[in-house]
Structure 1
């Protein structure tokens, strides 16, 4: 099963596909540059972690 494309908290869109030979491929596209301070906070919010 190939999951649908999704936007990651680090400012990238991730996609997976199956090529004609049956191999799984991953693609990543940068959507925006995320400042370091925001990168440090986002995983906490995304995964509901407490400090």
Structure 2
């Protein structure tokens, strides 16, 4: 079965929760995270901290 591909628009609290759920369940493939106001390093740090 092909997993649906999704993009996350914004990496605030809800965006991080959606990404974490997608990683844990492995039922969807996250292909993009869009947040033009933060850097990749900050995204990684915020994702790992919470």
TM-score under structure 2 length normalisation: 0.27
Which structure has more helix as a fraction of its residues? 2
TM-score under structure 1 length normalisation: 0.26
Which structure has more strand as a fraction of its residues? 1
**Greater Cα radius of gyration, structure 1 or 2:** 1
